[in-house]
Amino acid sequence: MTDRRAAAPGETGPRRNFYGRRQGRPLRESRKRLMESLLPRIAVTVTPGKEIDPAAFYPTPMRAHWLEIGFGGGEHLAAQAAANRDVGLIGCEIFLNGIASALSHIDAAKLENVRIYPEDVRDLLPVLKPQSFERIFLLFPDPWHKARHANRRFVNQANLDIVASLLKPGGEFRIGSDDPVYIGWALAHTTRHPAFKWLAERSSDWRVRPADWPPSRYEQKAIAQGRVPHYFRFRRV
């Protein structure tokens, strides 16, 4: 993929490198309408230096708050929101086609407990209120196979520090991947981090998707193509 710089429309401040695409195929008209009507109502915006408290997004108190980093087409995000309507979810995704797909799921299920950050998640994470989340999801991220691109992988010391700071004590960090390189990379980095305890006790704990972990379209595609997903759960200690 090409090296692009991601920026919000009308942005005037400095931008950082973003490696990937902002958009694929042209959006169908129904999804364009959702991007124009629904997204502005549920979008999270960042004001530099201003802390964001997820609890402020919802008119009624939520029993918990969860965060999904890179939700793809939004299948997992929407399924979790539908199954847990008393949980507030923030989904982060910069790929416009994925955002439009998620909006269609949110609209169809009439989900009022989802908010979307449609820009680079690296701008959002540092301004979120510490210890705000009971769960954080990182599901099937871009593995960046080449060794020279390893620094682009989300799982690294700095990002794990941020994830740890955002989770409440006892909170859960979930990572899913079907890429052997990323599986080894993520497991090695996260198990070395002092803030996380791997919850696996037997091989089925990472080979079998937990019952409360809805599948995504990408995961199903990976299985159909013969790749083996792994499901990691870590406790914030």
By annotation, the residues acting in catalysis are 142
Q: How far apart are CA 179 and CA 144, in angstroms?
A: 10
Q: Dihedral through CA 169, CA 175, CA 181, CA 186, nearest 10?
A: -10
Task: Kindly state the tokens that stand for 19.
Answer: 């490696």
What are the start-end ranges of the H helices in 114-179?
Answer: 121-124, 157-166
Question: Is-contact 210 233, C-beta < 8 A?
Answer: yes
Give me the residues paired with residue 234 across strands. 173, 198
162 to each of 59, 64, 127, 159, 198, how far by Cα in Å? 27, 19, 10, 5, 18
Q: Which amino acid is at 54?
A: P
Q: Which residue has the tokens 């609890």?
A: 55
- Indicate the DSSP class of residue 26: P
CA atoms within 13 A on the CB side of 10: 0
Question: Is-contact 168 235, C-beta < 8 A?
Answer: no
Question: Is-contact 64 134, C-beta < 8 A?
Answer: yes
